[in-house]
Structure 1
Amino acid sequence: MAQRQTLRRRLCYNTPSNRRKISKTPGGRLVYLYQKKPGTCARCGDCKLKLRGLTFARPHKLSTLSKRHKTVSRSHGGVRCASCLKNRILRAFLIEETKIITQVMKAQKQIKA
């Protein structure tokens, strides 16, 4: 017959925060070990893909980690993925180019008139 287990905490419901597994102690007793919830990874703000190079962790654990675990050494690192950032830079460049072209066209019209 299996040994009966008693919970080590007050919470008795089978919730995600109350997950546990059975472990055998060196004394031969079976006890519950509570498992922490797995952390989720940061995602790109545009395409919602998982960002590579960042640590998976729960929010409180993230607050204790150093900066190198939470970001990538690039502009918008840790917020946008590389391909979305490339698209944003390209779009900004093209918008600036169109502004310059419209100014040049306006100047040419004034010269002709």
Structure 2
Amino acid sequence: MGVRVTYRRRTSYNTRSNKIRKVKTPGGRVVVQYPNKKTSASTCADSNLNVVLNGLKRIRPTKLKQLSRRQRTVSRPYGGVLSAGALKNRIIRAFLVEEVKIVKQIKK
């Protein structure tokens, strides 16, 4: 649609936060709609793993705050922050570190 429309918000620049969509109303007018920004999936906080976290909604941060705790996280330690694999690795690493400490004590 090559129809000229006016922005409904403050800025009149085509920025990332000010994208518009032209829509024809049933009355025949062409108006501006502001689509929501695309959301990216939450990823694992472990720096070397770039894994998408399962069980979490792809939602904007402001909307995420409005959800209940049950919907924001996964019921597991570090749920919603670390992936299951990353958590497993951390647990195993912590266990092995403790084992090494015990072995060193026995050797003394």
Could you say whether these structures have the same fold, taking a TM-score greater than 0.5 normalized by the shorter chain as the test?
A: yes
Which of 43, 48, 55 is residue 50 of structure 2 equivalent to?
A: 48
Length, aligned pairs only: 106
Q: Which amino acid aligns with 1:67?
A: R
RMSD across aligned positions (CA): 1.7
Report the Cα offset of residue 2 of structure 1: 4.3
Q: What is aligned with 1:102?
A: 104
Rounded to whole Å, the distance in 2 between the matches of 1:61 and 1:2 is 34
- CA apart distance, 1:67: 1.2
- Provide the residue aligned with 1:9 in structure 2: 9
Amino acid at match of 1:14: N
| Aligned ranges 1:1-113 → 2 under 5 Å | 2-46=2-46, 47-106=49-108
Asked if 2 retains the 8 angstrom alpha-carbon contact of 1:18 and 1:35, the reply is no
In structure 2, C-alpha distance between the alignment counterparts of 1:51 and 1:65, rounded to whole Å: 17
Amino acid at match of 2:67: L
Give the share of equivalent positions with the same residue, in percent: 52
Where is the helix percentage greater, Structure 1 or Structure 2? 1
Q: TM-score, normalised by structure 2?
A: 0.87
- CA distance in 2: counterparts of 1:67 and 1:96, whole angstroms: 33
Gaps in structure 2 of 5+ consecutive residues: none
Cα distance in 1 for partners of 2:99, 2:92 equals 11
Alpha-carbon distance in structure 1 between the residues aligned to 2:72 and 2:58: 9
Residue aligned with 1:96, SS: helix
Structure 1 residue runs without a partner (length 5+) = 107-113
Q: CA deviation at 1:74?
A: 1.0
Give the TM-score normalised by structure 1. 0.83
Question: How far apart, CA to CA, are the structure 2 residues paired with 1:85 and 1:10?
Answer: 45
1:4 Cα offset (Å): 2.6
**Cα drift, residue 54 of structure 1:** 0.8
Partners of 1:105 and 1:66 lie apart in 2 by: 51
